[in-house]
Amino acid sequence: GDSVTQMEGPVTLSEEAFLTINCTYTATGYPSLFWYVQYPGEGLQLLLKATKADDKGSNKGFEATYRKETTSFHLEKGSVQVSDSAVYFCALPPVSGGYNKLIFGAGTRLAVHP
């Protein structure tokens, strides 16, 4: 079945460091891909998305490119801030089934220190 695999955390970085969080997926078709972020004590917020191969989603300095050839959607940010400390989830809707049931990765916790 469809699935998402994320790199295990936690990821600990100093402020202004470069961030990469890896995400790979298995799907029978070419779904949209999403990154959600969850700040402490909060629900999930959509961070960015890409709807087709080679699309680049971007928001708040974060970017992710939909790579069909490697079935990946890695999240990157050039210079992280303390306020980026959160848990990041890669997610995809199953192509089959005909309705939108998001499948999430296990999440990667990011801690950014001053």
Partner 1 sequence: DTGVSQDPRHKITKRGQNVTFRCDPISEHNRLYWYRQTLGQGPEFLTYFQNEAQLEKSRLLSDRFSAERPKGSFSTLEIQRTEQGDSAMYLCASSTDRLSTEAFFGQGTRLTVV
Residues interacting with partner 1, by CB under 8 A?
31-32, 34, 36, 42-46, 49, 51, 89, 93, 98-107
Residue 17, both tokens: 């460091």
Cα–Cα distance between 109 and 112 in angstroms, integer? 10
Nearest distance in Å: CB 95, partner 1? 8
Task: For 29-43, give the DSSP string.
Answer: S---EEEEEE-TT--
Residue nearer to partner 1 on the CB measure, 84 or 107: 107
Q: How far is the CB of 16 from partner 1 (least distance, A)?
A: 27
